[in-house]
Chains A and B, each alone.
Chain A
Amino acid sequence: MKITNIITHIIFFYVDGFRQMKVGKKLWLLIGIKLLILFGVMKFFFFPNYLKTTYDTDEARSMHLIEHLTKERQ
């Protein structure tokens, strides 16, 4: 079997599978909404990577942490 045939078979396998879904369609919709909320809202607005967005280099990140770990504590 040619590679293009194999790829076509795989694509139709998925397309047919999605077409014949009953509960699955609702579930995919839920997954889509969930991922949109998680990445489009939560990650974007509330969860920036603190060290990546605050410091430009790994050296600066290391410095931040060593200062944090060794600063005078009462």
Chain B
Amino acid sequence: MELMSTELIDWSRAQFALTALYHFLFVPLTLGLSFIVAIMETIYVKTGDLKWKTITRFWMTLFAINFAIGVATGLIMEFEFGTNWANYSWFVGDIFGAPLAVEGILAFFMESTFFAVMFFGWNKVSKGFHLLSTWLVAVGSNLSAFWILVANGWMQYPVGMEFNPDTVRNEMASFWDVALSPVAVAKFLHTIGSGYVIGGLFVIGVSAWMILKGRDVLEAKRSMVVGASFGLLVSIFLAVSGDESAYQAAQHQPVKLAAMEGLYKGEERAGIIAVGILNPDKKIGDDLHPIYGDIEIPYALSFLGYHDVDAFVPGLDDLVLGNEKYGIEGAASKIEKGKIAIKALEEYKEAKKADDQTAMSEARKLLDEYMPYFGYGYLEKPTDIVPPIALTFYSFHIMVGLGMWFIILFLIVLYLTMANDITRFRKVLWLALLSIPLGYVAAEAGWVVAEVGRQPWAIQDLMPVGIAATDIDAGNVQVSFWLFALLFTALLIAEIKIMLRQIAIGIKGGH
């Protein structure tokens, strides 16, 4: 296929990846810490113990620092949609715009109003109203995330729309099908879950540092109980929501699931690779073993993907080349159907120019029939449907491995804090502190799985990335890429510095 320059597409892609990954360094802590702060304030209001008020205000200040540094970093992606991804933006029409508009209104009214009460309202509004505001900030932040993830979920599993060849846009047919798409809901739950885990890790990690330094030990231990309890619950929730995400991937993005597991030849009663190294020489359709030193959990992939231990899980070979026995259509056949859809759109365009209603109607009928394969028509060869396997595979396994570690860590920390004296377990305290960055590694790895794993699609099956990009000057994209890299790095350094200074002041040090 003759697309715009690969250099331009790669820079546009790299820029979007950079902004999304950096943005997601700030977002998860906001999601998680907002609820932890609300829980701490609830304990204060319930018990009347002023120590809990001091604790709440300390974590609330750290929440504010993270919120302030992260706010508006997501706007950059909206800039990019209009400039680098203009074709995509037009094609998705109001489907993408509607959830983002709802998000904007919600974020503005809920967060900004109650955020002010949360920070300026101590001693000025009643305890109950202040607590309500803190909870509403938490709920508002999470609702904002919901609408953004609805938009993302639609790209992964486009539903609730009809393509209009007159406007060349997808138009919303059902708002609720878009908003409550199972992929969007699973994505939302798993993403906020990762934010909650990061919140829990942050609280136990910072508290561990304070205990190690012998600062505000009582307050740090209390914080640790809340952080570890919350962290343990949400890390289990994260594992469950991860199961649902894998199930949805199996139903709607089987190529992604196969890449996550490095599965080439599909099998019944498929296991999950717990540990293994991908064979770099492995190609689609050959007989090389795909993974070295693999340790497998039997039946787990069939169960995860289809909730049935006997289920057949298609591999990359089946999805690319087709598998008649299991009724799996190969990519070559889909590419042919995609070309028919594109041809039908072209015929519709010509018929409309000629004002030939009959030809328009025939072309429209053909287009509607083959529209689900539209994007395949732009692919050159069947293997183009395969995402970067190594990046997807390793990111997935890093994410899952770390997720397991977090459950164990929260369990140990909670036990030692509640039933023992955690101040004596310095190695555990160091582990808690060093696990803060691991939370971010896991969350970013999750994004890589979600976004790299769905390549080559900007919109699953409908629009590959090469068609979604705008034909603009690649140099312009390179310059703005480096400017963003500088800006975000500066913001990250600023956040870490301000945060560390505030932590050094201590819990009782005033805010």
Contacts and interface: CB of A to CB of B under 8 A. Distances in A.
Contacts of B116: 13-14, 17
Contacts, number: 114
A73 B346 contact: no
Interface string A17-40: 110111110111011001101100
Contacts of A41: 483
Contacts of A65: 87, 90-91, 168
B1 A62 contact: no
Contacts of B64: 23-24, 27
B2 A74 contact: yes
Given A47-B480, A50-B470, A65-B168, A73 B79 contact: no
Interface string B69-89: 101100110011011001101
B75 A38 contact: yes
B431 interface: no
Interface in B188-244: none
B269 interface: no
Interface residues of A, number: 40
A16 B476 CA distance: 45
A16 B120 contact: yes
Interface in B75-109: 75-76, 79-80, 82-83, 86-87, 89-91
A14 B113 CA distance: 11
Contacts of A16: 120, 124
A17 B112 CA distance: 14
A33 to B, nearest CB: 9
Contacts of A38: 72, 75-76, 79
B120 A22 contact: no
B346 A13 contact: no
B479 A23 contact: no
B80 A47 contact: yes
A37 B68 CA distance: 15
A58 interface: yes
Closest 5 CB pairs of A and B: A17-B120, A50-B86, A27-B68, A47-B79, A49-B82
21 contacts: A13-B120, A18-B120, A22-B510, A23-B502, A27-B69, A30-B68, A31-B71, A31-B72, A42-B487, A46-B476, A47-B80, A51-B89, A62-B167, A65-B90, A66-B165, A66-B349, A69-B168, A69-B342, A70-B345, A73-B1, A73-B3
Interface of A: 13-14, 16-18, 20-24, 26-28, 30-31, 34-35, 37-38, 41-43, 46-52, 58, 61-62, 65-66, 68-70, 72-74
Given A34-B72, A47-B80, A48-B83, 6 more contacts: A34-B491, A46-B476, A51-B86, A51-B90, A73-B2, A73-B3
